Amino acid sequence: MFQLQKAIQLHLKDRSKKGSIDAEIKEIVDAVNAKPEYYTTSSCAGRIIMLVRKTEQKKDTPWLLVSHASITVQDVMKIALPEYPVWLKQEGFILHVACRDMAAAERLLNAARLCVKRAGIISASKRIVVEIASTEFLETIIADKKRWLVSRQYLARLADEANRRMERNRKRLTLFLSEVQKL
């Protein structure tokens, strides 16, 4: 049954907004999927985004900028500001992995906990799914009603901080890949 679920999952079309696996996490996804007792169900390498919050609904949240690499204050300031609130966010990587059994889940969790603070079993009914997530995170409002709410100097500081957190995220990805390869 597990092998059939894995075969089906690995042949499904990517349902992410982008429509493909992030290049920065693809090696990890491939390494996990190469193991007979695991397969990935979703992933994100981490990113820096500027988004518009029209409502609290995800479908009403367009992205103005998305980057899996560093950004500059110029990248941020060249965005045409909408009437709605604009937020700058930096998010760490997240990976969901289905496991053959609890023993496999425990091995994956032990490897993950050497790299990140947040890892746990999020489902154990139809299939056992482990979530592994970096805790690198930054989120703040920066504009509203077509006007910046903060200075250019503060935007530059936010960009620098987001970039530093993305670098820590990249290091955690590298460390986790090493641990997956040891499984």
pLDDT at 8: 84
**pTM of this structure:** 0.88
Q: Judge whether residue 23 has pLDDT over 90.
A: no
Q: Judge whether residue 104 has pLDDT over 70.
A: yes
pLDDT at 73: 95
- pLDDT-derived band of residue 115, with 50, 70 and 90 as boundaries? very high
- pLDDT-derived band of residue 142, with 50, 70 and 90 as boundaries? very high
* CA 32/CA 154 separation, integer angstroms: 40
Give CATH superfamily name and number for 2-182. Answer: tRNA wybutosine-synthesizing-like (3.30.1960.10)
Q: Judge whether residue 10 has pLDDT over 90.
A: no
pLDDT at 17: 67
pLDDT at 154: 97
**Mean pLDDT estimate for the chain:** 92
Domain boundaries, the chain: 2-182
